[in-house]
Chain A
Amino acid sequence: MLLAVAFKKSLFLLTLFISLLPLATASETKSEPIKPLVADLTIDPKLVALGDQLFHDPRLSKDNSVSCASCHQLSQGGTDDKPRSSGVDGAMGEIKTPTVFNCSYNLAQFWDGRAVTLEEQAAGPIHNPVEMNSSWSEVRAKLSRDPSMVAAFNELFDDGISSDNIATAIATFERSLVTINSRFDRWLQGENSLTEQELQGYRLFQNYGCISCHQGANVGGNMYAYMGAMGDYFESRNSKLTRADLGRFNVTGQEEDRHYFKVPSLRLAAINPPYFHDGSATTLEEAVRIMGLYQLGREIPEAHIQDIIAFLRTLIGEHSKLTP
């Protein structure tokens, strides 16, 4: 286990090193609304390793059946392929699992942004009855029975195993999940790494106005938006309105926040179907089309959709845990 962690760690560092090479040699980043992803080199590798371990530890769930990684499957893009994920005892979640990759770039966590920090977020699924259905005290008790865990925590924290420390470790691990060195980022940094179609896709992405919301390093995640800004998405969706559909209203209770969601990152969108908070769009084409229709008030021709998809694929970066 330790060895595996060490190996992963070294691999991670290696990836980092390789990804930094073009950065170091790049002349100057292009001035674009999308910025390259940058890995945080200041985080403690030991803490990352512990977080990694906890992230994959099913003891965080009530019946030891579900870990963070059960839904946030790192190799699958940090999420699963279900519209709604299932928790302990097969309980169905109420919302599409968002990717955990690059989450540190988000202005807040969860679709409705109810957690301001990653640490705050970590507590959420643990306590959620349809997710892990556990509690901090339960998790602490379980981990405290494991001498290797106790030793690992004692090495890193003065106060050993505590809720805060578990959350810190998981959050730190999550901060390390940055998919750097994508082809698009390399292009941003001056490399001639994109095809004409992809460049065309990027142009269309800008011209159609997708870029207005999906911008920044994470291509989204740094603002909220109404689902159905230019049309009534939920009416057209033709299915019953759920609590999850209310979006940030569930957090603020304000009428103006109804259907107000955090704009999701498109960094790994190309490999993370189904789409939207309700997982209703099973293909990227459909997602792009629906987005054009309800968010931009425009019908995007099929050819343009393909170009945009081509562009979206260039956003996928590299991470040792991610093997697309």
Chain B
Amino acid sequence: MKLLFQSIGQRRGLLLLGLSMTFIMLLGLFWDDDSDDYAELSRLMLQLKTLDARFDRDMLRIASFLMVQYDPLVKTSNELNQIRTRFNATADRDHEQLSEQNRLFWQTMKTKLDLLEKIKFQAALVRNGIHYLPTLAQTFNQQEPAHYNQIVEFINQLYSYQLSSADSHFNDILGSLEQIKQWSLSSTQSRDLVEQLLFHIDSNLHGLAKLDSLKKSYLEVPSQTYFSALHEQLEKQRVTETAIKRQLIVLLSLSVCALIIGLWLLIRSLHNAHLESKRAWNRLHDAVDNLSEAFALFDADHRPVLYNRRFEAFYPWLKEYPIDSLTLDELQAAVAERTEYYSLEGSLFTDPRPQGQYVEQIDNNTWYLASNKPTSEGGMVCVRSDISASKRAEADSRKLSRVLKQSPASVVITDTQGVIEYVNPWFERVSGYSAAEAIGQNSSFLKSGNLSRQDYETMWTRLKAGREWRGMFHNRHKDGSTYWESASISPLRDEHGKITSFIAVKEDITAQKLAEDQLRMNAAVFDTTAEGIMVTDAENRIKTVNPAFTRITGYGLDDVLGKSPQLLKSGRHEPAFYEQLWNSVRQQGHWSGEIWNKRKDGTLFPEWLSISAIKGANGDIEEYVAVFTDITQHKENEEQIRYQANYDALTGLPNRTLLSDRLKQAIASAKREQWMLGILFLDLDHFKVVNDTFGHAVGDELLQLVAARIKACLRESDTIARFGGDEFVILLQDIAETDSVAQVATYIIDQITRGFSLNGREISIGASIGITIYPDDAANADTLLQNADMAMYQAKERGRSTYQFFTLSMQQKTLDRRQLELELRHAIKNGELEIYYQPVVNPSLNQTISVEALLRWNHPKRGQVSPATFIPIAEDSGQIGEIGRWVLSNACRQLKVWQDAGFSNLKLAVNLSSRQRELGLEAADLQQVIDQAGIKPESLTLEITESLLIRDTEEALVWLSSLKALGVKLSVDDFGTGYSSLSYLKRFPVDALKIDRSFVSDLPEDLEDATLVKTIVAMAQNLNLSLVAEGVETQQQAEFLVNNSCRNLQGFYYARPMPAAEVGTWLSKPPSNVTSGPTKSLFTDSE
């Protein structure tokens, strides 16, 4: 109702306003336009009047010859032309009534100007004539003086006429002309002159007449009349038009007033009618407003008739619009801004004017069922009801269903018994079973069997108790492969709370598990590798380091996290080094090489470093991984190897290898420079004693001191090398004479024999030196050394702590030795070797205990060769192996012969050389010998020297033990001469000792020896070792020994070594001293 009323009121108002506007505009048009035009025309009229007056004035000036040049006139006519153009332009616009007057006026003006043009010319013509006549008169004065006065008279008449224009003057002129024509003139010239005069006067008169008539015509032109007419017409027109306009205004004003009054009456009556309908309307409106649906009604012109409040509530943004005046189209456009339309079937559509029923979704996710139905009068009724709730429920359910279908997790729903009721597509993907295959099966059909029965029972217990279960399944895919799933199973209850089914949501975590394993493994590698690992980010800030890093550098992760690896910089490398390093990393992705870094404690260390750039998916470097190993040890080893190869570890002196090099170089330069070299081969005297007495540690220390002392004796250019053991070689360069070499040797010997103080002990040793001279003694290094060695032996033989130059005789000796060695080879074959046996007796028991096998060489040319000579040769050349075996087997066979002959308790002692072990004599060989001989192993005693026990202790022990295991006995020969210590007696499986002959020979007079022997006896008794005394030559000796409980004696006193045949005899008939005691004096053994 209100709307309707308003719209009527508005329409009326608009009508009124429109009418008023129209009138005002009309009036304005009349007023403004015309008044401007009239003003312009009036102004132009004024100018025209001025110009017209100017033309008139100028005409008069021309006609009276006052104007000598016409430029101003041209200017005036140009101005007139301009005014005419403007005047016509203005006048022609609206004033047809003016055109006739206008045309007439301009016609007049044109006539006037044309006349003026003619006047201009005519005036010029006349003026020329007037001007010429006096000149002509002057000519007459010269040619016809008689007529001159008459001519002047005539000209005056002419001028008078021109000035007065009186007819009387004209008659006078005509009379004068007749007179002139009557003149009788004699000369042709004069006649021509008169003719000329008459012509000009005639022309002048005519011209004057014409000018006069033109002037008259000009003045007669009624320009003023036409001007006035035009002006009058204009005025009249203006007055008329003004009057009409006034009448119009009055008329219009009256009409407007009438209209307004009519309108007001109309509005009043309408207002009353509407008041009534308004109440009815309000009721309807109220009802509509209270609908739960939105409602809007539009009339046939689609103007709004009614909106209810809901409508605004449904479309909140309409508040920004003047909703009460929104037309249907505007409304629909406004609604469409934030609304999407769906058909009832649910398809989206766009239609600026949707009709019928459809669904609207506005952007706050509210849904309306919309209905736009035409009304009978051609309008439109729009109804909207909110269906958001049902829409949302529908959407939710659809969403849920989609969630299940599209979920990237397996979803399985079972009944309370575990029978599968539903599986989603993801389940199908993961398990390989289709829904059809799975549904109806018990969920346990997926079991891989890797989980225990108990696990499943726990699960079911929990579930049946209505609680949720989470855990992992190890299931089997349809194709047989297994996979891991993380599952969450929960019971589903109906509205009464009863469990109806179980729902399992499972995620395939196989890949995750694999990745975890991989990660764990990587982490373990990272943590346990011996190589330091450092990871930095793209800006080269440390992200992590591994324990090895900390171990190597001393920096923990906390120390370095977020810092630059530059903190490790050693400062040993140039910036260019790092630049090259990073260039390589950035361009090739990696670098590896040796680099010096600094530890936390500031120490520098070399490392072998590999840096790799790790690029991300986009190809940019994301991380740098540096892996390094501390190569300090490696580097030290390298240097050590180099050092060890050339230097002696103990003394730091060049070793044999380096010496050999130096010697060769020295020889080369000596050869070149023609100088001499001296080679000193030094061997310490009694060094073994020191070693055995004070231990190797002291021995080593002594060697170092010795080395230092020798070094102090030498020049810088000389070389001292440790050749091995206690042997040193000194190389003297560029020696002038051999005497100086001798001086050096003497000096060195003096220095060494000075004695050393070690650990509070005074130790005295000596040194023997052999000297060779290059090039005198030999030309090459090896020979020089050999010769020096030989000379050194010679020095030793000469009594130690002395030096010996190499001589030719020494060479000779060497050659002899070689010869002997050669001959020895043939000796065995040729049967030149023979075994002698020396009995060992027990005087107390009056018994021969055993025999000692002793080797003899019956050289065909040299006679008997001393074992002291050839045994060392055999040992050196290795022949001892063969010889020793030969001795053993022959001696054992011999023993067997004797035992079989009735001396069944006789035993055999065979000397064993340590070289035999080296040459391959093993327990098996010995066993073979014993077996072949057919003797009991107990009856064989192997005699070894103390030196064998001392050297190669461990191996010797093993060897001797293996022999001992056969059942043979071991005896230590020459006991007391060496550097014996009691310790080895304990360690070695020794059965007996043989007291060296040197202790026996001075018995019993030498008290020291006697004490010693007594001590040895006591010791042997303590250690439960049996004893044999060697070299017993006298009865006193025998008695002393026997009295001091050394019961087994060997020596010339009882028997010399004898060939086997003699021994047999000897055994059968032993001499009386064996049986009756040691009374007989004997000779010493040949040794």
Cβ A215 vs Cβ B69 within 8 A: yes
Question: Residue of B at shortest CB range from A209?
Answer: B128
| B178-211 interface with A by 8 A CB criterion | 199-200, 203
The interface residues of chain B lying within 8 Å CB-to-CB of A213 are 121, 124
Count of interface residues, chain A, beta-carbon cutoff 8 Å: 29
With A105-B71, A218-B71, A222-B69 given, can you name 12 additional A-B contacts, CB distance below 8 Å? A209-B127, A209-B131, A212-B124, A212-B125, A212-B128, A213-B121, A215-B69, A223-B124, A224-B120, A224-B121, A297-B199, A297-B203
Choose one: A208, A215, A229; the contact of B70 (CB below 8 Å).
A215
When A116-B81, A226-B121, A230-B203 are in contact, do A296 and B71 touch as well, CB less than 8 Å? no
Chain A residues 227 to 264 lying within 8 A of chain B, measured CB to CB, are 229-230, 252, 256
**A34 proximal to B (CB < 8 A):** yes
Question: Is B132 part of the binding interface, using a Cβ–Cβ cutoff of 8 Å?
Answer: yes
B124 touches A224 (CB 8 A): no
**Cα distance A217–B74 in the bound complex, in angstroms:** 11
Q: In the complex, which of the residues B69, B74, B127 contacts A107, with contact meaning CB atoms closer than 8 Å?
A: B74
Set of chain A residues within 8 Å of B90, measured between Cβ atoms: none
Check B69–A34 contact: CB distance below 8 A. yes
- Chain A residues with CB below 8 A from B69, complex form: 33-35, 215-216, 222
Closest to A211 in B: B68
Of B73, B132, B199, the residue contacting A222 (CB under 8 A) is B73
Residues 100-131 of chain B: 1 if any A CB is under 8 Å from the residue's CB, otherwise 0? Answer: 00000000000000100110110011011001
Q: Is B1036 an interface residue (CB 8 A)?
A: no
Residue from B77, B117, B199 whose CB has the most chain A CB atoms within 10 Å:
B117
User: Does B128 lie within 8 Å of A296, measured CB to CB?
Assistant: yes
26 interchain pairs (CB within 8 A)? Answer: A33-B68, A105-B71, A106-B74, A107-B77, A116-B81, A207-B135, A208-B128, A209-B124, A209-B128, A209-B131, A212-B128, A215-B69, A216-B70, A216-B71, A216-B74, A217-B71, A218-B71, A222-B73, A223-B70, A223-B121, A223-B124, A224-B120, A252-B114, A256-B118, A296-B128, A297-B203
- A-B pairs with CB below 8 Å: how many? 66
Is the C-beta of A298 less than 8 angstroms from some C-beta in chain B?
Answer: yes
CA distance A226 to B203 in the complex (A): 14
Asked if A225 CB lies within 8 Å of chain B CBs, one says: yes
CA distance A35 to B121 in the complex (A): 19
Within 8 A of A (CB), among B247-267: none
A222 x B71 contact (CB < 8 A): yes
Chain A residue with the shortest CB-CB distance to B69: A215
By a CB distance below 8 angstroms, the chain A residues around B124 are 209, 212-213, 223, 225
Give Cα A223–Cα B62 distance, bound, in whole angstroms. Answer: 12
For A296, what are the chain B residues with a Cβ–Cβ distance below 8 Å?
128, 132
Across the interface, name the chain B residue whose C-beta is closest to A256.
B118
* Shortest CB distance A226–B (Å): 7
- Nearest chain B CB to A210's CB is how many angstroms away? 9
CA–CA, A107 and B72, complex, Å: 10
**Which residues on B sit within 8 Å (CB–CB) of A225?**
121, 124
Return B61 CB to nearest CB of chain A, in Å.
13
Contacts of B73 on A, CB cut-off 8 Å?
A: 107, 222
Which residue of the partner chain A has the closest CB to B68? A33
What are the residues of chain A within 8 A of B199 when measuring CB–CB? 297
CA distance A152 to B70 in the complex (A): 38
Contact check: which of A33, A34, A222, A252 meets B74 at CB < 8 Å? A222
Chain A residues whose C-beta falls within 8 Å of the C-beta of B128 in the assembled complex: 208-209, 212, 296
Minimum distance in angstroms from A110 CB to a CB of chain B: 15
Contacts A35-B69, A105-B71; is A229 near B125 (CB within 8 Å)?
A: yes
Tell whether, in the assembled complex, residue B121 and residue A297 are in contact, meaning their CB atoms are under 8 Å apart.
no
Q: Tell me whether B121 and A209 are in contact (CB under 8 A).
A: no
Q: For the complex, what is the distance from the CA of A256 to the CA of B213, rounded to whole Å? A: 14
Interface centre among B117, B121, B128 (most CB of A within 10 A): B128
In angstroms, Cα B128 to Cα A297, docked, is 10
Q: Which residues of B contact A222 (CB under 8 A)?
A: 69-71, 73-74
- Of A34, A212, A213, A218, the most chain B CB neighbours within 10 A belong to A212
Q: Closest A-chain residue to B135, C-beta based? A: A207
**Chain B residues close to A by CB (< 8 Å):** 68-71, 73-74, 77, 81, 114, 117-118, 120-121, 124-125, 127-128, 131-132, 135, 199-200, 203
Q: Within 8 Å CB of A230, what residues of B?
A: 125, 203
Q: Which residues of B contact A209 (CB under 8 A)?
A: 124, 127-128, 131-132
Provide the bound-state CA to CA distance between A208 and B136, in Å. 12
Measured between beta carbons, the chain A residues less than 8 angstroms from B125 are 212, 229-230
List chain A residues, Cβ under 8 A from B71. Answer: 35, 105, 215-218, 222
A207 adjacent to B74 (CB under 8 Å) = no
Interface residues of A in 126-162 (CB under 8 A from B): none
Q: Would you call A297 and B200 a contact (CB within 8 A)?
A: yes
User: Most B CB atoms within 10 A — which of A33, A211, A223, A224?
Assistant: A223
Give B120's nearest chain A residue, CB to CB. Answer: A223
Q: How far is the CA of A212 from the CA of B131 in the complex (A)?
A: 11
| B125 to chain A: closest residue by CB | A229
Q: Which residues of A contact B114 (CB under 8 A)?
A: 252
Contact with B along A288-307 (1 / 0, CB 8 A): 00000000111000000000
Q: For window 185-216 of chain A, which residues contact chain B by CB distance below 8 Å?
A: 207-209, 211-213, 215-216
Q: In this complex, what residue of B is CB-closest to A252?
A: B114
Instruction: Provide the bound-state CA to CA distance between A216 and B81, in Å.
Output: 20
* In the complex, chain A residues whose CB is within 8 Å of the CB of B200: 297
B residues near A229, Cβ cutoff 8 Å: 121, 125
Q: Which residue of A lies closest to B117 (CB)?
A: A224
Cβ–Cβ < 8 Å partners of A224 in chain B: 117, 120-121
Out of A105, A116, A212, A223, which one reaches B127, CB within 8 Å?
A212
Residues of A within 8 A of B132 (CB): 209, 296, 298
Is B74's CB under 8 angstroms from A215's CB? no
Instruction: Find the residue from B70, B73, B131 having the highest chain A CB count within 10 A.
Output: B70
Chain A residues within 8 Å of B120, by CB: 223-224
User: Which residue of chain B has its CB nearest to the CB of A254?
Assistant: B114
List the A side residues contacting B70 at CB < 8 Å.
Answer: 107, 215-216, 222-223
The CA-CA distance from A207 to B199 in the complex, in Å, is: 19
CA distance A218 to B125 in the complex (A): 20
Tell me how far the C-beta of A152 lies from the nearest C-beta in chain B, rounded to whole angstroms: 28
State the Cβ distance, B64 to closest chain A Cβ, in Å.
14
> Which residues of the other chain, B, contact A212 by a CB distance below 8 angstroms?
124-125, 127-128
Complex contacts, B127 vs chain A, CB 8 Å: 209, 212
Interface string of A19-62 (1 = CB under 8 A from B): 00000000000000111000000000000000000000000000
In the A-B complex, list the 8 residue pairs whose CB atoms are closest, starting with the nearest.
Answer: A209-B128, A212-B124, A215-B69, A216-B71, A33-B68, A107-B74, A222-B70, A216-B69
Question: Bound complex: CA of A229 vs CA of B128, how far in Å?
Answer: 11
Docked CA distance A296–B68 (Å): 17
CA distance A209 to B200 in the complex (A): 13
Shortest CB distance B283–A (Å): 68
Tell me the smallest distance from the CB of A231 to a CB of chain B, in Å: 10
How far apart are B652's CB and chain A's nearest CB, in angstroms? 101
CA distance A223 to B69 in the complex (A): 10
A182 to B74, CA, bound (A): 22
A229 to B120, CA, bound (A): 13
By a CB distance below 8 angstroms, the chain A residues around B117 are 223-224
User: What chain A residues lie within 8 Å of B81 (beta carbons)?
Assistant: 116
- Which residue, A35, A105, A222, has most C-beta atoms of chain B within 10 A? A222
Bound together, the chains give a CA A218 to CA B70 distance in angstroms of: 10
A2 CB → nearest B CB, Å: 34
In the complex, which residue of chain B has the Cβ closest to the Cβ of A107? Answer: B74
Q: How far is the CB of B140 from chain A (nearest CB, A)?
A: 15
Closest to A225 in B: B121
CB B311 to nearest CB in A, in angstroms, measures 56
By a CB distance below 8 angstroms, the chain B residues around A216 are 69-71, 74
Instruction: Kindly list chain A residues whose C-beta atoms are within 8 Å of the C-beta of B118.
Output: 256
Chain A nearest CB from B381 CB (Å) reads 58
A 70-116 contacts with B by CB, 8 A: 105-107, 116
Q: Which of B73, B120, B135, B199: most chain A CB closer than 10 A?
A: B120
Q: Give Cα A208–Cα B135 distance, bound, in whole angstroms.
A: 10
